Amino acid sequence: MKALALFSGGLDSLLAIKLIQETGAEVEAVYFLQPFLAPAEEEKLIAHLQKLIAQLGVKLHIVRLDEEYLRILENPKHGYGKAANPCLDCHIFFLRKAGEMMDKLGAAFLVTGEVVGQRPKSQNRGAFPKIDEETGLAGLIVRPLSARLLPPTVPEEKGWISLDHCPSIQGRQRKVQLELAVKYGLEYEAPAGGCLLTNVEYGRKVKDLIKADGSLTIDSLRLLRIGRHFRLNPRFKGIVGRNHRENQILFRYFCKQRSTEGLYLLKALGAPGPLALGLGGPATDDLKNLARLTSRYSDHPWDTSVSVKILVSGEKHHLTTVSVAKKQGTLDLEQFRII
């Protein structure tokens, strides 16, 4: 008998796998990789997950989320949490995707590390039947950490596994999980940073993008992690790099798409300073305001006139220069900032 476990990188899913292994079932695991990590971060995260899962001798499948996931993120049926985290929809999506993998892997049921009452929306007793129904996998999702608080699943009823040895954990307390981690000798350092979608600041930028563009792309989500973001009009925004690495990323982004209309790369001339990227259709003063923002973060002294170079993308990409005054208080920059 084989099971496929949803692995989050946290202790609960490690324990859930261990408890199912104790039933004699073979377990493989799947991790759904969010699409907006930089390649180096992905590599580090995957290495960390492999190290954790190796403790249990389990094969780990990494599934990179794609455009289909972005459609969920744009318009979640069950809404967002405190940021742009559509946890309930996201969870249902992961289970559906894992359900689709079962046949190919020869798995008879799914396993999750969910705990009754741990999260208000997605992990309360009432949410589980709704989740099971929406995934079309009712009876096939086993939650060993709270197994004895929940109705028996198909694998138990059919006698494939017995969960008599499983705990009845509920709520946010971690005491039982920590005791089990000691009992099984498991190391469980969760991946650094957690889910970016639960970050309130990042969430505001995601929602701004959905409102302005109506849709998300993997590239646009990646860009949200770079620089200071300014919404200059509903169809035009600017990103100002905060350091050399971010300036390089903005530069590469511009170069890669320089034949597409609607991109602007700005740099104040004559002193060190950031690169700024403009995206969309600027109205009358927007490019000038972005140039002011670019000069504001440059090393030019206050109360001077600064020339800002603007590279304009498109079929006929060209270079232009504007002159702006770097004056304290003349432009209320904060009104544009997405924070």
Q: Which residues bind ligand SF4 (CB under 6 A)?
A: 85-87, 90-91, 195, 197-198
Closest approach of ligand SF4 to the CB of residue 206, in Å: 11
CB nearer to ligand SF4: pick between 198 and 257: 198
Closest approach of ligand SF4 to the CB of residue 160, in Å: 28
Closest CA to 321 of 279, 270, 281, 273: 270
Closest approach of ligand SF4 to the CB of residue 124, in Å: 14
Closest approach of ligand SF4 to the CB of residue 91, in Å: 5
β-sheet with 141-142: strand ranges across: 59-64, 26-33, 2-6, 109-111, 141-142
CB nearer to ligand SF4: pick between 94 and 297: 94
Closest approach of ligand SF4 to the CB of residue 85, in Å: 4
Closest approach of ligand SF4 to the CB of residue 36, in Å: 11
Residue 197 tokens read as 């979608």
Closest CA to 271 of 238, 240, 311, 301: 301
Q: Which are the contacts of 30, defined by CB distance < 8 A and separation ≥ 6?
A: 4, 5, 6, 7, 60, 61, 62, 63, 97, 98, 101
Task: Tell me how far apart the alpha carbons of residues 209 and 216 are, in angstroms, rounded to a whole number.
Answer: 7
Residue 125: φ, ψ to 5°: -55, -35
SS3 62: strand
Q: Answer yes or no: are the C-beta atoms of 302 and 330 closer than 8 Å.
A: no
CB nearer to ligand SF4: pick between 201 and 285: 201
CB nearer to ligand SF4: pick between 205 and 231: 205
| Helical H segments across the chain, by residue range | 11-21, 39-54, 67-74, 87-105, 127-135, 154-157, 175-184, 200-213, 218-223, 244-256, 286-296
Closest CA to 122 of 74, 72, 64, 81: 81
Closest approach of ligand SF4 to the CB of residue 196, in Å: 8
CB nearer to ligand SF4: pick between 161 and 209: 209
Closest approach of ligand SF4 to the CB of residue 122, in Å: 7
CB nearer to ligand SF4: pick between 86 and 113: 86
The type of residue at 319 is L
CB nearer to ligand SF4: pick between 73 and 250: 73
CB nearer to ligand SF4: pick between 163 and 196: 196
Q: Which are the contacts of 228, defined by CB distance < 8 A and separation ≥ 6?
A: 239, 240, 242, 297, 337
